[in-house]
Chain A
Amino acid sequence: MQVRVSLDFSAFGRTRWYEYVVRFLFGGAITVMAGLLAKHFGPAFGGLFLAFPAIFPASATLVEKHEREKKQRAGIFHTDRGLQAAAVDAAGAAMGSAGLVIFAFTIWKLPPTWHAPAVLLCATAGWLLTSFALWRIRKDH
């Protein structure tokens, strides 16, 4: 079955401004925490937290809530659809986390002579390509 990736601009109406504020605060907090942990316990420990699923609980909960509200607007009140959407979102995150392994490996192994933007760009491309490839393989089989 062919699955197309598209942009759904109606999502603007479903997401409230404070939901982005929550993500901003969580994201900022975990970035500061990762930096502080690296300073106090060394980079080998702090580095673990660069892949800490800090905002995933908030994201999955919002996915569940938005899908449930969508069904309720359609007059369907008893449904597991919200939970199923959150489970699918988590399955996607699992594939994204496999891409994270490639992201981290790229930064670890690229020569120190490379400039920072080039290193981060290569690593991000590695994350995106790996995640997308895994997603396509799963969809096609």
Chain B
Amino acid sequence: MLQLLFRFAVGGTMVTLFAFLADLLKPKSFAGLFGAAPSVALATLGLTIYTDGKSYAALEARSMIVGAFGFFLYACGCSYVMMRFKVPAIAVTTSMLSIWLTFSVGVWLLFLR
């Protein structure tokens, strides 16, 4: 339980720091880079290396490559739909999470399981 709380605190802090930095940066297209900052990964992998070792973290990192490709598809899709169809950001960014999920879990089922 204590370890979970620690993970929660470290993850939340990393995400907030990167978000804070993104808010300060201009132009918006550059600040957007920080929307895909490795904040959760830094928190998780840092703790994983210490608790479970480098080999375990390397396995997670290999799968993260697939998740990152999914993120790329997701972000491209969100940008296109918002620009082209004028749908509110909250609707687009939440509904398009299904693209990330389908791609990432699909690739995991086919090649990594």
Residues of A whose CB lies within 8 Å of any CB of B are 3, 5-9, 11, 14-15, 20, 23-32, 34-36, 38, 42-57, 59-61, 63-64, 80, 82-101, 103-105, 107-108, 112, 114, 116, 119-120, 123-124, 127, 131-132, 135, 138-139
Q: Is the CB of A92 within 8 A of B30?
A: yes
Min CB–CB distance B26 → chain A (angstroms): 5
- What's the least CB distance linking B1 to chain A, in Å? 11
Contacts of B82 in A (CB 8 A): 83-84, 86-87, 90
Q: Looking at the complex, which one of A29, A55, A88, A107 makes contact with B57 (CB distance below 8 Å)?
A: A107
Task: Please give me the residue from chain A that is nearest to B107 by CB atom.
Answer: A48
The chain B residue sitting closest to A62, CB to CB, is B23
Which label, helix, strand, loop or mixed, suits the secondary structure of the B interface? helix
Interface size range on B against A = 35 or more
Known: A90-B79, A135-B29. A52 touches B93 (CB 8 A): no
Chain A residues, Cβ within 8 Å of B83: 83-84, 87
A64 nearest CB across to chain B (Å): 4
Residue of B whose beta carbon sits closest to that of A109: B58
Q: Are B36 and A93 in contact (CB under 8 A)?
A: yes
